[in-house]
Structure 1
Amino acid sequence: MAQKTISVLGCGWLGLPLAQALVEAGYRVKGSTTTPEKVEVLQQSGIEPFLLSFPENSPKTDLATFLEADVLVFNLPPKRTETGAQTYEETLAQVLVNLPTKTTNILFISSTSVYPDLHREVTEQDAIASSDSPSLLLRCEYQVQQAVGVHATIVRFGGLMGGKRHPGRFLAGRKDVPQPLAPVNMIHLQDCVGVLQGILQEEAWGETFNACAPSHPSRQEFYTAAAQQLGLVPPHFLAEKTTSFKIINSQALMERLSYSFVYPDLMACLADSGF
């Protein structure tokens, strides 16, 4: 069987370790970065580097060449501004219009932020992608799903932790933090990479998956313990009894991929030496 090529658009916190894991698994991997200094990092990891900038393509590289792959992983995080949202949609549109016929599978990295606080457990059916959605990510999910000749799988990740993202720093020292009893919806970097590898191995295309650890401690319990582990001042939470929340259900992912989380218990994960 011919070696498959995977292009990872965005080799940052998640994209780089994913690309490195794919190289180790025997794939030919192309990786993009906007930082010239990172080109050597990619090369040293066995990743074919591409210096890309959007919405205009950098003259130093060829977007079409980068997109020549069996699978494209679209892993660019949107910026939280109106201008940033517009640029994000323009970037996605530019990528989709330049897709060669060879690239028939897309892994689109989305977020569980697409779900409102429904005060209950939520599944993938609780947020439907559409062209006129007020949610940027749901509009973009729809664009990817409607791309001609493409089989797309959407992965909605929960809050990200692991690597250099230790949750102990997120709220340390803050005063009057709201929602102490709200459940936490998070996922460790190792599980992010594991989930994406599982989708590739199972060729689970045309799906939408939630990806979040199955345990959901309260914000107060989790962030207090996380700060204490780093020797930082724990956040001070308001004494609120009313909670606005959602609990992300990832059962569909676990069943379809037969996936077992590396870190299913977030409280136990805090004490792991991987941090």
Structure 2
Amino acid sequence: MKLPQISIVGSGWLGGALATVLAEDYTIHISTTSVSKVETLKAQGFTPFVFSLGSTNTHEIPSFLEGSDIIIINFPPKRRIDAIETVYPQQVSALLPFIKEHQKVLFISSTSVYQNTNDWVTESLPLHPEKASGLAVRGAEQALQEALQERLTILRFSGLIGYDRLPGRFLANKKELRNGKSPVNVIHRDDCIGLIQRIIETKSWGEIFNGCSDEHPTREHFYTLAATRLGLTAPEFVQEQTPTNFKLISNRKSKEKLAYVYQFPDPLKLI
């Protein structure tokens, strides 16, 4: 029996692992910007396509999307690119002319679209990003929403951790860090994949979801413990009385509407 097909834009740290899991139930089309990855992706049982969004190399995109019921857009804005606020939405928008009316789209976004509120943040918050990366992602979300409307679901992930992405290395040996009392918002890669599977299984289109662990330890506690357990020099934080410039990402909607149970609800047990 022929399996249904999914196209995944991006074969990096999350996209590659996601493709491996979804391949149990779907035929996988996956994109890469590197010719050198083609044979590896083929060996994993995927059908790879080489193209770079935002370039003139778009002739592969129609074949990449053809036959797929679902398209998963999963590549973050690159750092240190001038005018990323406009470049990234343009890259994402380059897919729109080739998406058919029957196809559903899942956009892997980021909680960087939210400003610091010093309080809980839900999916209904009006967006006022404070950094260029957040502005870039918000721009991509808006372009997709205008074109796709109810055929689009947006999944906003907090900081990605798990496997070789070890948070103990992030701040090790750094000094005079601020906001040590602020809460941490992270999510394990397995929960990222689990949420994507639940959206597909429940056909939850036309939605926005946050993806984040249940617990939010302080930055000081989390990164100090993470570095210590790797045998690295723990970061040093400026001692402040109260937390400032933070947000607490709520995952309540993902648990209630998707009936999703987080596999790794406590970040302290991941380090």
Corresponding residue of 2:265: 264
Corresponding residue of 1:70: 69
Corresponding residue of 2:44: 45
TM-score, structure 2 normalization: 0.92
For structure 2, list consecutive stretches of 5 or more residues without a partner in the other structure: 129-133
Corresponding residue of 1:117: 116
Q: Distance in 1 between matches of 2:136 and 2:143?
A: 11
User: Is 1:177–1:238's contact at 8 Å kept on the other side of the alignment?
Assistant: yes
User: Where do 1:168-183 residues align within 5 Å?
Assistant: 168-183=168-183
Counterpart of 2:261, as a letter, is S
User: Where do 1:19-34 residues align within 5 Å?
Assistant: 19-24=19-24, 26-34=25-33
User: Is 1:43–1:49's contact at 8 Å kept on the other side of the alignment?
Assistant: yes
Deviation of the 1:150 alpha carbon: 6.0
Counterpart of 2:63, as a letter, is T
Deviation of the 1:119 alpha carbon: 0.8
Post-superposition CA distance 1:106-159 (Å, at most 9, x none):
100111111111111111111359xxxx82222221211221476000011001
User: Where do 1:248-259 residues align within 5 Å?
Assistant: 248-259=249-260
User: Where do 1:233-252 residues align within 5 Å?
Assistant: 233-244=233-244, 245-252=246-253
Q: Where has structure 1 moved over 4 Å in runs of 4 or more?
A: none
User: Where do 1:50-65 residues align within 5 Å?
Assistant: 50-58=49-57, 62-65=60-63
SS, match of residue 198 in structure 1: helix
Further displaced range: 213-222 or 37-46: 37-46
| Change in CA separation of 1:263 and 1:149 when aligned onto 2, cut-off 3 Å | closer
Corresponding residue of 1:127: 126
Corresponding residue of 1:273: none
Corresponding residue of 1:145: 145
Corresponding residue of 2:198: 198
SS, match of residue 14 in structure 1: helix
Corresponding residue of 2:131: none
Deviation of the 1:71 alpha carbon: 0.7
Q: Distance in 2 between matches of 1:83 and 1:165?
A: 28
| Change in CA separation of 1:206 and 1:102 when aligned onto 2, cut-off 3 Å | closer
Further displaced range: 74-83 or 112-121: 74-83
Corresponding residue of 1:10: 10
For structure 1, list consecutive stretches of 5 or more residues without a partner in the other structure: 271-275
Task: Give the number of equivalent residue pairs.
Answer: 264
User: Is 2:32–2:48's contact at 8 Å kept on the other side of the alignment?
Assistant: yes
| Change in CA separation of 1:149 and 1:255 when aligned onto 2, cut-off 3 Å | closer
